[in-house]
A = this chain, B = another copy of it.
């Protein structure tokens, strides 16, 4: 039905009406005092969200652009980097590193499982010459719904002294990423995720230790040169024309997030995650990620024996619910339910109810009618 689409994908996520209204207002000049006021306000909001006093810089880019900036600004050709890889995004950061001629060592774990902090411990302890300059970690692996143990891995990186560069694209705003408390050097994210706004802005937080590395880093850059953004951020402006309308939307979204409060935001995402997982179990379908490494942003379901694409198709046609499919070799094998950003309990109940009906339509009846919804309802009332 026209205009009835409900996004349950890991970005773009649903966007509140007030954020859309802000987005659709007439642009202003980006070299105006009015824009500088917005710039200053959203920068403060970003620091709040990142729980940091570090710089948080804003690029016109996707999350990948932000992560690439987060890597190339602090490294030189041939530098050794350790990249955690247990899904599509971990693989992507290794590709970025290779594209820039870095010496890449991957720490791997199968898709659907979490990275093992002990593997990082071993690799980092073996590096007695301290040739590893940075460790790149995907916090929430969007392709599999796995949340890696960033705190434990980071402890190993701190013990070694390398920079830690974190892909927090689908974790920031869904689960606590305490940048200062954990000492996270570089954290990249994108606007169409926990930020509750459309895609088009990338964010990078940068620690003092990372800025030290910047001074001698020699990979070439211009548009993604974070030093230019830091310099102009000091004057509440940007080195290149910013997407002013997306700044309006960011301003409105951060205001909503601050009104809700960090603890409430994280509790809501935890509740939505638990409700979704309880429902999937009650429907006797397999969760692709284990309970102890469940992403707060997305739940991947492996409906063995049923083509995941058929489930997505019925969900879309009958109920106007957009689910994400599997990426790469997981296409057809999993579907993914996004519960990130502007999502409430009602959305999960509706999605699970629609999923039950879709499964029945496909002849899958290995669950008592209503069992999924009942399990979700119980989880959110717990």
Contacts and interface: CB of A to CB of B under 8 A. Distances in A.
Interface string A191-203: 0100000111000
A199 B60 contact: yes
A45 interface: no
A199 B242 contact: yes
A102 to B, nearest CB: 10
Chain A, interface SS category? loop
Contacts of A63: 240-241
A15 interface: yes
A5 interface: yes
B95 A222 contact: yes
B61 A222 contact: no
Interface string A111-134: 000000000000000000000000
Contacts of A26: 3, 5, 7, 14-15, 20
B60 A27 contact: no
B60 A220 contact: no
A11 interface: yes
A243 interface: yes
**Interface residues of A toward B: which range?**
35 or more
A56 interface: no
B99 A220 contact: yes
A220 B219 contact: yes
A214 B324 CA distance: 33
Interface in A236-254: 240-246
Most chain B CB within a 10 A radius of its CB, from A12, A20, A32, A96 = A12
A24 B19 CA distance: 9
Given A28-B322, A60-B60, A62-B242, 20 more contacts: A7-B26, A7-B28, A9-B29, A12-B29, A12-B244, A23-B23, A23-B24, A24-B25, A29-B324, A60-B199, A60-B200, A61-B223, A62-B240, A62-B241, A64-B223, A65-B223, A192-B241, A198-B243, A200-B200, A220-B220
9 contacts: A5-B28, A12-B27, A12-B244, A21-B24, A24-B25, A29-B324, A60-B60, A100-B220, A200-B245
- List 5 tightest A-B contacts by C-beta distance, closest first: A24-B24, A200-B243, A12-B27, A62-B240, A198-B245
Interface of A: 3, 5, 7, 9, 11-12, 14-15, 20-21, 23-32, 60-65, 68, 95-96, 99-101, 190, 192, 198-200, 219-225, 240-246, 322, 324-325
